[in-house]
Chain A
Amino acid sequence: MTIPSISVKSPLHADHLALDAEFTARGIGSAVAYYGEQHAEQFNEQLSILDLSCINRIGFKGVQTCTWLEQQGVTLPQTPNSATVLPAGQIMLRLSSTEHWVLDSVTKDSDLCGQLRDSHNRSDVKSYLLERNHSHACFYIVSEPGSTSAAETMSKICAVDLRPHRFANLAMAQTSVARLNAVVVRHDHLGRLAYLILSDMTAAQFMWHSVLDAMQEFDGRPAGLNAITLEAK
C-alpha cells in the first residue's frame, strides 16, 4: 500500500478544536502545534500530554524481521519489551523476537517509516507489515522537570510498576491502561520523565480523557508539538 496524499485528522480533532488548537502538518496528517495562547515555555512548568497520533509509525512482524530491519541500517533493541532511539530521533520498539514497531521522530524531520515501507513493498522478505498508524493512537505524557508526576499519573490508570527506579528509560510494557490493551514505553524527554502510550485508535478519545482525568491533580494539561520541538532545538 502506498500512502495517499489525503491528510488525516486525529480522532481527537474535535477535542483539540474545542481547546482552541492550532495545527501543523506532521506525519500522515495534522498535529496540534499549540493550544490557544499557550506557548512552548509553559511546557516547562507542567505535566503535559501530547497527541502524537498523526506521527508516522509502522510495524513489522515475521521471522525475518530482525535481519531485514538490520539490513536497512536500523539499530534494534536487543531484548523484547525494550526500545532504542536512533540518532535521528526515531524510536524502535521490540515487542517480541519477531515483531518491531518504528516511531518516526517527533522533534526532527524524519520519514524512516515511509522509507521502510517502500523498501518492504519492494522486497519478498518474510516479514509482514502492520499499519500501526491506523490501529494505534499515540500519546506522550511528559513530566515537569525533576518531577515524577507522569509516573504518578500512570499509576492511576495502569497496574504495572512504572516508577522511574523500577522501569528504566526505554523499557516497554505490553499491558492494560484504563482497561485498554496498550503498549507503554518510557521515553524520557531531555531529562524529563515521560511515557509513550500506544493504544487502540478507535478508543483514542476514551484514553485521552482517562489520562487527562488522572493528570488533573497534578495540573496536567494538553500540549502541542511546538513545546517539545522548540525545546529540542
Chain B
Amino acid sequence: MTEPFNQANRLDAPWGILIDRNTPLCFSFEGKAVDGYQGDTIASALIANQQWLMSRSFKYHRPRGPLTMAGQDANTLVQLPSAPNTLADKYLAVNGLRVMGQNYKGSLKYDRLAVNGLFSRFLPVGFYYKAFFRPRGIWDYWVKIIRKQAGLGVIDVDHQAVYRDKQYLFCDVAVVGAGPAGLSAALAAADSGADVILMDENTILGGSSNYSRLSHQQLERVVDIKTRVEAHPRIRVYLNATCNSWHAEHWLAVVTEKRLYKLRAQQLVMATGVFEQQAIFRGNDIPGVIMGSAAQRLLRLYGVKPGQRAVVLAGNDEAYAVALDLLEAGVTVAAVVDLREASLNLLQSEAQTRACQALLSSGVEILRNHSVFEATSKNGHLTQVDVRQIVARGECAPHSRTICCDTLCMSVGYMPVYQLVCQAGGQLSYDDDSARFSLSNIVDGMHLSGSMVGLWNISSVIENGQAIGFAAAGQCANNDESKQSNAQFDVLNLDVLQDVEARGLNHPWPMFLHPKGKEFVDYDEDLHARDILNATRDGYEHIQLVKRYSTCGMGPSQGRHSALAAARLVADITHKTVAETGVTTARPPFASEPLGVNAGRSFYPRKYTSMQPAHEAAKAVFLQAGSWYRPAYYTTPKLNEAQTVTRESAIIDEVNHVRSKVGLVDVSTLGGIDVRGPDAGELLNRFYTSTFHKVAVGKSKYALLTNEAGVVIDDGIACRMAEDHFYVTATTGGVDRVFQTMLKWNTLWALDVDIANVTTAWCGVNLAGPLARKVLEKLCDCSLSNSDFPYMGVKEARVAGIPSRVLRVGFVGELGFEIHVPQLYGDALWSALLTAGEPYGIRPFGIEAQRVLRLEKGHVIIGQDTDAMSTPHELQMSWAVAKDKAFFLGARTLTELAERGLDRKLVGFTYDNSLGEIKESHLLLDDSVGVSADSRNATMIGRVTSSAYSPSLGCGIGLAYVTLGKTLEGSTLSIKIDGGRRVVATVVKLPFYDPQLLRQEM
C-alpha cells in the first residue's frame, strides 16, 4: 500500500452510479492529496487510491479500514477540522477538505500505541473493574492516565456552530427505507389515496438494488417504480434522512444534515432491510477484510475495485453473486471458500450451478466445507488467508492452506435492521434450526416489509411491499378509497417460506475461534471472542450483563455486527439456544447524531413588559425571572460621569431614595386574575385563608393561599372592584398555578364565577415613598387623601388619562400606590409618572431594591422564604388565617397541625455585617458547644431564607427558619457563612422597619 495516490482502483463507467467523473475533486488525507470525483465518500476516494487504513481501533490501536461501506461500523471514523468521529464511508468528499485519522500517537501508519495489542492478554474484559480499585483511592491516580488514552478524535472548541432547526411533518403513511420494498409500499399507499412520506438514509432511491447483482429485467422493474415514486404527487421523498427513533403513536425523529424532522404518521411501513454480518475468525478486522455487500457498494456505487486479488468466504449463495461481480470488475478471484458442504439452497440449485460453472470456467477455485481460519497482514493490509477444512461446528482441521489475496469478502448472513421495530416494543426472535430471524409483537399501525421479514427474491420483495403499502393506506382514517381496493392485494402478502431465495441466507455458525484469539466480535470496543466467553465465566451469563460488563455493543455501531455473534457465543457457553439468549435492547438513537441536531434552534420565550423601552433607556441591568426579564437595578442617574455604579451601590441608593423621596418600580409581572360573577366572593372565601365575604367594594385584602396540606403556595391582594368582581394579584411565578387551581376548584364547586387570567392584559407600577401622593395627585382624576383613599383602598380612576386600577398598598413599607393599566399603555404611564415626579426627584428602582425594602418590612416572598412544608403558622402569619371560617383549602390540615404544635418558625434577625456576610441558604448551627467548635460536628438547627444589608437600619438583616428554642427575641443564632466561619445574629421582632406602620398608612 505504498503506491502514490493515483486512483489505480477506479473502474470505468457504468461502474459507479454515484460519482460524476466529469467533476473531479481533491482533498487531503493525513496531509497527502487525494483525487476523487463528486459523489465519492471520503472512504471510496481513499480506496480508489488504494488507501485502506483509515483509523485505529479503540483499545489495541489496530489498523482499521472500511467494513460495510455503509456507515454501519466504526472502522472508518476520521477527524475533520471541525468534526471528530466522522464516518468516512458516509461523508461525501469535497474539494479542499482536510481529513486526518484519529486515535493514534505518532502517525496513522505507525501508531506507537499499537503496542497495546501486545499486552492484550493482560487487558482482559472487565480489566478496569478488576485492576484499579485497590488500594483505596488509586483510581484517582489511574484515571488521569486512562483518560489520556481514551476517547476518539479532537473537538474543535472554536468551531462555529452551523444553523440547525426543526420541523414538524405529517402524513398518512410513512415509509422508512427506500429500497425495492419501501418504494413499492410507498407507491401502493399513494396510489390508494394516502399522503405518503418516504425516507432513506442514502443519497438515492433504490436501496440494495443500486449495488446488488440483479438481472436486467429486475433492474428495469425497480427503475420503473423509482420513476413513478419520484413523479407521484402524493409522495414526499426525504433522502439523507435517518429515522433515528420511534415514539408513541408513530412519532418519528428523522435526522438530516441541518434539520430534525418530527414526523407523525398514521401508519408506518418499516422497510429498513438487513445488516450483513461478519464471520468470526482471527484477523477478521484487518483492512481488506470486508462484507460482500461492501465490495458490491464499492463497485456499483463508486466504481472502485476493492483489490486486485480476492477470496470470497461464502455462507450463502449471495457470496457467488459477489464473486461474479468481482470477476466482471476485473478482480482476480482466487477462491470461493464455502462454509457449506453443498449449497443448502437446493431449490436454487440450477442458478447455483450456473454461478458455480461461471466461476469455475473463469478459473475460480471453489472450496466447499472450508473456512478462513486466519487472515494475516503486512503494512496494515490483508496479504493472505489461512484456509482450512471444517471438521465440526466451529472447528477446523489442523492442516492449513495459504491463499494470497488483498481482499476477503464475507457473505455469511444477515440480521434484520430491527432497532426501530424493537424501540416500538417489537420482539426479535431467532430460530436456531433455520438460522432465521423474525420480528413479532409489532405495534398497531406498523407494518414490516422486504428483506427485514426474510424475503429476498426481488419480485417477492416488491409484491410484498405493494401489499403492505395498500394495507397501510387502507388502515388510515378516512381513506375509503384504499379500503375498497385493498382486498385484492391480500393474496400478495407472501409467506416468507415461498421465497426460495430467502432460504439459507444465514449460515448457522460462521465462527472459528483461534488459540491466539483476535477473532473480533465487536470492532468498536476491540472485543474478541475470548472476551465474551470470559465475561460469562466471570458470572455475567445474561446477554444484558455481558453487554454491560464487556461493553459489547456499546460502541458507535451499537451492536449492528456484534449482537448476533455475541448471542451465539453466550448461547454456546451457557448451553442455551440463541433464541433463548436473545439480543440486547435497542434504544434510540438508531444512529449517532450530532449534538447540534438536538441543540439547534430551540424556543425559550422571553417576556418583556411594555415599559421595557424606558428600562433600557435608563440603563437597567436585567434579571431573569422565569420567562420575564425585569430590571434588577438602574445604572442611571449618576451623580457625575466619573461615578461607578455597582450593584450594591445602586441598591442602597434606590432604597434610600424610596425611603426619603419617591420611587417607581415596574410590577407588571405580578399575576392578575379577574374573578367575576355572583359567587366571586364565595369562591375567594373558599380558596384563600382569609374571609372575603365582608370585603367592601373599593377595598382590598391580603390573600394567602394554602394547598390541601396546609402549605403556603402563593399570596397576593384581592381587590373588590364591584360586588361581583374581584381583581386578584398573584406572584410572578405562581400565577399560572393559582389560575389553574382556581379553575379546578371552581369547576368542582360549581359556582357561578368566571375566572380570567389577565396577567399580560394589564401592567403595573408601584409608586412608593413619602412623596408618592404628591406625584400621583398631578395625574389622577380622583382624590388621593388618606380619608378618601385609605390604606388598602382600591379605585378605578384615570391616571394621565389612562383607565387604571389604583391600589393603595404597602409592600415596601412606604406610602404607596400600585397603578395597573392595560398593557399597551404601560409605556405612557411610566413616562407620565416620571415627568410628574421630576420636581420631587422621582427615580425608578429595581426588584433588588424592592426585595430589600420588603425585607425591612419583614414581608415574605413565597418560594424564597417558604418551602414545600411551610405553613402560615410557621411564617408567623396566623393573622392571615380566618378563625371563623368553616372551610378553606388546607383548613383541616392546618387545624390538625396546630394541635400538634410547631417544629420551627421563620424569625427575623439582625447582625453586624462588618463581621461577615450572611447569605441566603446559609445554615444555622447549634451553638451550645461554642461558636468556634468544628462545624462538621454541629447540629443544624435552621437555615437563612433572606438576607441583605439594610440601608435603613445600617446593619445586616434577614429571615431564617429556626427550631423552637431559638425563636424568642434576643436569642442568638450561630450562622455558618462562606469559608466555614460563624457569625452571630440576634433574633428580633418583625418588622425591622416602621413597626407602627406609620409610613405606609400616612
The chain A residues found within 8 Å of chain B, CB to CB, are 1-2, 4-6, 8-9, 11, 13-14, 28-29, 61-62, 126, 128, 130-136, 152, 155-159, 161, 163, 166, 178-180, 200-203, 205-206, 210, 213-214
Given A135-B758, A156-B165, A203-B607 contact (CB < 8 Å): yes
Give A92 to B756 CA distance when docked, in angstroms: 20
Given A128-B754, A158-B168, A166-B170, A134-B823 contact (CB < 8 Å): yes
**Chain B interface category by residue count:** 35 or more
Number of residue pairs spanning A and B whose beta carbons lie under 8 angstroms apart: 113
Interface check B562, CB cutoff 8 A: no
The chain B residues found within 8 Å of chain A, CB to CB, are 165-170, 262, 264, 601, 603-610, 612-613, 627-628, 668, 674, 676-677, 754, 756, 758, 760-762, 798, 801-803, 822-825, 827-828
* Chain A residue contacts of B802, Cβ below 8 A: 4, 6
Q: Say yes or no: B603 contacts A178, CB within 8 Å.
A: yes
Instruction: For the complex of A and B, list the 4 residue pairs with the smallest distance between their C-beta atoms, beginning with the closest.
Output: A135-B761, A134-B823, A8-B824, A179-B603
Chain A nearest Cβ from B287, distance in angstroms: 42
The winner among B165, B606, B674, B822 for most chain A CB atoms within 10 A is: B822
User: Which partner residue on chain B sits nearest A166 by CB separation?
Assistant: B170
* Chain B residue contacts of A131, Cβ below 8 A: 758, 761-762, 822-823
Q: Which of B264, B668, B760 contacts A135 (CB 8 A)?
A: B760
Given A4-B803, A61-B754, A201-B760, A9-B603 contact (CB < 8 Å): no
User: Which partner residue on chain B sits nearest A59 by CB separation?
Assistant: B756
In the assembled complex, 13 residue pairs joining A and B whose CB atoms fall closer than 8 Å, in A order, are A4-B801, A11-B610, A131-B761, A134-B760, A135-B758, A136-B760, A152-B167, A156-B165, A158-B168, A159-B168, A200-B605, A202-B668, A202-B760
The winner among A8, A131, A202, A213 for most chain B CB atoms within 10 A is: A202
Give A205 to B668 CA distance when docked, in angstroms: 17
Give A157 to B166 CA distance when docked, in angstroms: 8
Given A155-B168, A213-B601, A133-B607 contact (CB < 8 Å): no
Give A202 to B674 CA distance when docked, in angstroms: 18
The winner among B610, B677, B824 for most chain A CB atoms within 10 A is: B824
Given A166-B170, A202-B607, A203-B607, A133-B676 contact (CB < 8 Å): no
Give A131 to B828 CA distance when docked, in angstroms: 18
* Chain A residue contacts of B677, Cβ below 8 A: 126, 128
Give A157 to B803 CA distance when docked, in angstroms: 36
Given A29-B824, A156-B168, A203-B606 contact (CB < 8 Å): yes
Give A75 to B862 CA distance when docked, in angstroms: 46
Give A134 to B610 CA distance when docked, in angstroms: 10
Chain A nearest Cβ from B487, distance in angstroms: 27
* Chain A residue contacts of B676, Cβ below 8 A: 128
User: Which partner residue on chain A sits nearest B261 by CB separation?
Assistant: A155
Give A14 to B608 CA distance when docked, in angstroms: 13
Given A2-B803, A6-B802, A156-B168, A205-B754 contact (CB < 8 Å): no
Give A205 to B677 CA distance when docked, in angstroms: 35
Q: Which of A62, A155, A179 contacts B604 (CB 8 A)?
A: A179
Q: Say yes or no: B760 contacts A161, CB within 8 Å.
A: no
Q: Say yes or no: B605 contacts A179, CB within 8 Å.
A: yes
Q: Say yes or no: B824 contacts A133, CB within 8 Å.
A: yes
Q: Say yes or no: B828 contacts A1, CB within 8 Å.
A: no
Chain B nearest Cβ from A67, distance in angstroms: 16
Give A207 to B167 CA distance when docked, in angstroms: 16
Give A2 to B166 CA distance when docked, in angstroms: 44
* Chain A residue contacts of B760, Cβ below 8 A: 134-136, 200-202
Give A205 to B608 CA distance when docked, in angstroms: 9
User: Which partner residue on chain A sits nearest B195 by CB separation?
Assistant: A165
Given A155-B168, A156-B165, A201-B824 contact (CB < 8 Å): yes
* Chain B residue contacts of A214, Cβ below 8 A: 165
User: Which partner residue on chain A sits nearest B796 by CB separation?
Assistant: A1
Chain A nearest Cβ from B690, distance in angstroms: 24
Q: Which of A4, A152, A166 contacts B798 (CB 8 A)?
A: A4
